[in-house]
Each structure stands twice: as C-alpha cells, then as structure tokens.
Amino acid sequence: MTREISPNRKGAYYGGTALVIFGVLLFASTFVTFAAGFGDSHHFAPGPSSMMLRPLVGMGFIVVGGILRSIGARGLAGSGVLLDPSQARKDLEPYTRMAGGMLQDALEETDLTKAKGDAEPVVMIKCRACGKLNEEDSKFCQECGKAL
C-alpha cells in the first residue's frame, strides 16, 4: 500500500490551489476596478459584458480549482470521481493520516488532553469558613476571602 501521495496528485492539488487563488483575484479585481472607477476591462476581455464576465470566470476558476484540489488531496476514487471503495480507501489513506495527525497536534495544544494525560491527582484545599474547595497553592479562599 502506498503511503505517499503521488506526484500527479500533488500537481493537481497545487495547480488547483493556484487556480483558486487566480479565480479569487479575478473575482476581487472586478470590484476593485469598479470601485476605482477605471474601465480597463479591455485588458482582460473586450466588450461591455466583461464586467459581468470577470466574476463569472473567476468563480469558474475557483470551482474548477477547488475540484482539482480535492482530487489531488483525496485521489480520484477518494474524492468520488471514480466509484471504487477499496481504491478510495487507499487514496484517502495518506490524506486521513495527515488530517488525523494535524488533529492530534491540535489536541495536544489544548488543556483537554493535557489534563487527561496528567496522572497527578488534583489537590484541593477546603475552606474552613465556607467549605469551598480551593486550589492547592491558593492562599486565600476564592469564595469568602479568608486565609487558608
């Protein structure tokens, strides 16, 4: 079983990313030129319809680029282009491993897993005045302010 993503898929992924970026820029440029008020529409596509055409073409690039990225990341079968469950699993394997690894990294950042992994028991001091449980190293009660 291959654990690495093939160069073809990497190419599709980065090519797709470039298309998305290009599409976003094209889409955004419509509003920039519109706001700036200059009609340099003839640079891209001649005719009065270019103002309408540009965001459409930009969106087309974003959609096609997004599909390419998804195919690159998940493989042809993994992204649902080919209906082949066993191939899909193989295609998705490096991707899910990557996603799982990133999730693990993110979880390790949080106190949630840190607290879970901590074998040390939490020691609390009970306030003699009000009975509130306070942290071990606190000098005064959180509830009533009395010295512990």
List % helix, strand, coil for the chain (3-state, nearest 5): 65, 5, 30
25 binds Zn ion (CB under 5 A): no
Looking at this protein, which amino acid is placed at residue 11?
Answer: G
Site for Zn ion in 75-134 (CB under 5 A): 127, 129-130, 132
Q: How far apart are CA 75 and CA 68, in angstroms?
A: 10
Residue placing its CB nearer to Zn ion in the complex, 98 or 130: 130
User: Which residue stretch of 24-32, 84-92, 104-112, 137-145 sits at the interface with Zn ion (rule: CB under 5 A)?
Assistant: 137-145
3-state secondary structure of 124: strand
Closest CB 146 distance from Zn ion, rounded Å = 5
**Least CB distance from residue 115 to Zn ion, whole Å?**
25
Tell me if 144 contacts Zn ion by CB under 5 A.
yes
Residues binding Zn ion (CB under 5 A):
127, 129-130, 132, 141, 143-144
